[in-house]
């Protein structure tokens, strides 16, 4: 409960095929997941939520020809 938290994902192109699982454990504050640089997460630069125990799994891959990013699975 020490304040909002931001997690920055690594550059998708450098970790193609990697999976990240993120879960918000506390009820207080907001958790923001930030894509690196121009990367996106399902088309968005960031995702944020404030619901306790909400989780998300993302995988790095090519989202368009020669464009890497993150997708929610």
Residue 29's CB is within 10 A of a number of other CB atoms, namely 13
Q: What is the pLDDT of residues 19-46, one digit of tens each?
A: 999 999 998 999 999 999 999 999 999 9
pLDDT of residue 2: 74
Are 52 and 14 in contact, with CB atoms under 8 Å apart? no
* Average of per-residue pLDDT across 1-7: 85
Report the C-alpha gap between 29 and 51 in whole angstroms: 9
**CA 37, 40, 43, 48 torsion-angle sign:** negative
């Amino acid at each position: 409960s020490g304040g909002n938290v931001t997690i920055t994902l690594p550059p998708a192109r450098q970790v193609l095929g990697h999976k990240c699982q993120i879960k918000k454990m506390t009820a207080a504050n907001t958790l923001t997941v930030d894509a690196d640089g121009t990367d996106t997460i399902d088309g968005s630069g960031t995702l944020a939520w404030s619901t306790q125990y909400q989780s998300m799994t993302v995988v790095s891959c090519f989202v368009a020809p020669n464009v890497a990013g993150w997708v929610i699975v």
